[in-house]
Amino acid sequence: MTRLSAAFTKGRPALVTFVTGGDPTPGATASILDALVEGGADVIELGMPFTDPMADGPAIQLANLRSLGAGTTTADIFRIATEFRARHPEVPLVLMGYANPMTIRGADWFAAECVKAGVDGVICVDIPPEEDPELGPALRGAGVSLIRLATPTTDAARLPAVLDGSSGFLYYVSVAGITGMQQAAQTSIDEAVARIKASATIPVAVGFGVRTPEQAAAIAKVADGVVVGSALVDLVAKHGADAAGPVKELTAALAAAVHSARKGAL
């Protein structure tokens, strides 16, 4: 069993948390990641800053700009990942970002760096499965999970292509829009998760627009995992290098809600 698969086999839904690497500075990211772990997050997504984060709303767009403005490089992201793995040998770490930083030096190079840094999985937002001759095979060949995205517009005809070659978990984007701006109706999430889980053999985690423990708990009743990003990134924007405390506090509230969402359910 891998670190990533173990996160979804604890007998309860998993909390997946996202922050942007290098925000507010590369040196400050370590304490924020530690706060996520201490707060009870089961999986950590570390965003790779990019100049054109097309799937992201204002909160994460600004986080990318802060990180890049602080001089964060891909080498810094792998250093942050390597140091995280040394401090937290059992906590799954996923890199999330866009194709350019992942492929500009070659997919094989990127996959090898992931292995060296102890990265468990990769989410590449802008390479669809139909156009992935290099990154996906390189990651799979290196034993790194490629985590694909499904959306409200992923119909039954296309879902098999999304699931093919995906591992770790499937990330269901609950809204047809950008991160952090709106939340889908719970009934639509319930229906979509049920439809995807009927075909998927890997866990299904739901994200985009999840900001509060109450929202997270409702989703956790049906999904294998809940992803929260923008609400945490907002705390980094507000508190900067002192964000660890507020981040831990929100993470703990989210973790309590997600982990207990099915208690008493038959």
Query: DSSP states of 143-194 as a string?
Result: T-EE--EE-TT--TTTHHHHHTT--S-EEEE-SSS-TTS----HHHHHHHHH
Q: Which two tokens stand for residue 149?
A: 């995205």
pLDDT, residue 181, reads 55
Which is catalytic among the residues 23, 56, 120, 224? 56
pLDDT at 142 over 70: yes
Structural domains in the chain? 3-259 (3.20.20.70)
Angle at 112 between CA 107 and CA 118, to 5 degrees: 125
pTM listed for this prediction: 0.96
pLDDT in tens, 182-212: 677 788 899 999 999 999 999 999 998 899 9
23, 34, 38, 45: which one is catalytic? 45
The yes-or-no answer on residue 132 being catalytic is: no
Residue 12 in this model has a pLDDT that exceeds 90 = yes
- Please state the φ and ψ torsions of residue 178, each to the nearest 5 degrees: -100, 170
- Predicted confidence (pLDDT) per residue in 67-119, tens digit: 999 999 999 999 999 999 999 999 999 999 999 999 999 999 999 999 999 99
Taking 60 as the threshold, does the pLDDT of residue 266 lie above it? no
Assess whether 131 carries a catalytic annotation.
no
